[in-house]
Amino acid sequence: MKKKKLCVAVLYGGRSGEHEVSIRSARSIMQAMYPARYEILPFRITKGGRWVPHAIRPEPGGNPAIDVVFPVLHGTFGEDGTVQGLLELADLPYVGAGVLGSAVSMDKEVTKRLCLERGLPVIEYLLQRRGRLSVREVEERFAYPVFVKPANLGSSVGITKAQNRRALKQALELAASYDTKVIVERAIEGRELECSVLGNEDPLASAPCEIIPSREFYDYEDKYLLDRAQTIAVADLTPAQVQEVQRLSIACYQAVGCEGMARVDFLLEAATGRLYLSEINTIPGFTSISMYPKMWEAAGLPYPRLIDRLIELALERHRVRRKTRFRR
């Protein structure tokens, strides 16, 4: 008897500054999925929020009902718990973190607070809000340069490295145009590391990779447009440093209540040798140059099998949650 294919709805695009990156990630994921195993139902969400189905016609006798959803929606209205809440209401299994883990991880300031509560090393920062931006407050706290970023966004959209007062004022206004909350961080000179995490209750961490930007920092243009940044799939670190990155990655993952997958970013300060957690991404990039799948591939888990595992984790979590009582 022919085994029934799993029907996977892939959501991509979205109302986000990372719309184009999402399209590229979704294209890579769909190309990597085994056609004998999956029936793919793509849904593109426009920048205006309209859902446009591009469903592949089901085979005769196929399975048109959705078995699992794969959200590939980077940033706001996709990675922040909103779509995850919709899928929970629909009682559909889905890949990646749940509502709480997604919302918490998307908010860099809340992530920092939870990590600090667990005693994890985060970069010194202060929080400002749209309408109450203060250059003076930043200058009283930090020396230049500083990093200014929206609290809720990814792919380095809206991030500036400010070297002086004029640049800081412009940076605060730019970040505030993307979010009501703005994070200002002490600039750390050192190495940029990333680590992939995979799993639900018992997550695993890959060996960390290293990013060598072609610009002052790994910004949006460097990530997706210039093609000049260097990536090292397995960073040149001591065994102790590798273990510490992995430990901190899993600790951060669990502190924010993440499930399924995430990429945790670090800075290794050159002057002190200290590791600092930068942020966690619950729907990391899956483009041809993205490091999340590359790190697992270096660990012996090829891209198509990684997709399989993420879908398996989604179905496993859904089975566990369906045992929960919601009525007396």
Domain identity same for 61 and 146 = no
Handedness of CA 127, 130, 136, 142 (dihedral sign): positive
Structure tokens at 223: 């990530």
pLDDT at site 326: 80
Structure tokens at 176: 């505030």
Percent with pLDDT over 70 in the chain:
91
Domain end: 95, 112, 140, which one? 95
Three-point CA angle 183, 212, 102, nearest 5°: 40
Domain identity same for 213 and 141 = no
Question: Cis omega before residue 145 (within 30°)?
Answer: yes
- Is 319 domain-assigned? no
Confidence of residue 241 (pLDDT cuts 50, 70, 90): very high
Look at residue 191 and tell me whether its pLDDT is greater than 90: yes
Domain identity same for 143 and 233 = no
pLDDT at site 57: 47
CB 10 within 8 A of CB 30: yes
**CA–CA dist 247, 243 (Å, integer):** 6
Other Cβ atoms within 10 Å of 122 Cβ, number: 18
Domain identity same for 174 and 257 = no
Look at residue 103 and tell me whether its pLDDT is greater than 50: yes
Instruction: Express each pLDDT in 123-149 by its tens digit.
Output: 999 999 999 999 999 999 999 999 999
Cα 99 to Cα 82, 153, 235, distances in angstroms: 7, 16, 32
Domain identity same for 19 and 78 = yes
Domain identity same for 12 and 46 = yes
Look at residue 231 and tell me whether its pLDDT is greater than 70: yes
pLDDT at site 322: 87
CA 15 from centroid of its chain's CA atoms: 16
Phi, then psi, of 313 in degrees rounded to 5: -65, -40
Look at residue 158 and tell me whether its pLDDT is greater than 90: no
- Catalytic residue list: 18, 155, 224, 263, 265, 279, 281, 285
Percent with pLDDT over 90 in the chain:
80
pLDDT at site 288: 73
Instruction: Express each pLDDT in 254-289 by its tens digit.
Output: 999 999 999 999 999 999 999 999 999 999 999 877
pLDDT at site 236: 96
- Is 246 domain-assigned? yes
CA-closest candidate to residue 21, choices 210, 279, 287: 287
Domain identity same for 286 and 179 = no
- 154 is in which domain, residue-wise? 125-186
Q: What is the mean pLDDT of residues 38-53?
A: 94
Domain identity same for 287 and 195 = yes
Residue 196, SS3 per DSSP? strand
Name every residue whose Cβ is closer than 8 Å to that of residue 245 and which is 6 or more positions away in sequence.
193, 195, 205, 208, 237, 266, 275
Domain identity same for 195 and 282 = yes
Look at residue 199 and tell me whether its pLDDT is greater than 80: yes
Domain identity same for 91 and 109 = no
pLDDT at site 215: 63
Instruction: Express each pLDDT in 49-91 by its tens digit.
Output: 999 987 544 455 555 799 999 999 998 899 999 999 999 999 9
- Is 321 domain-assigned? no
pLDDT at site 153: 73
Cα 307 to Cα 10, 33, 107, 146, 302, distances in angstroms: 12, 7, 26, 38, 9
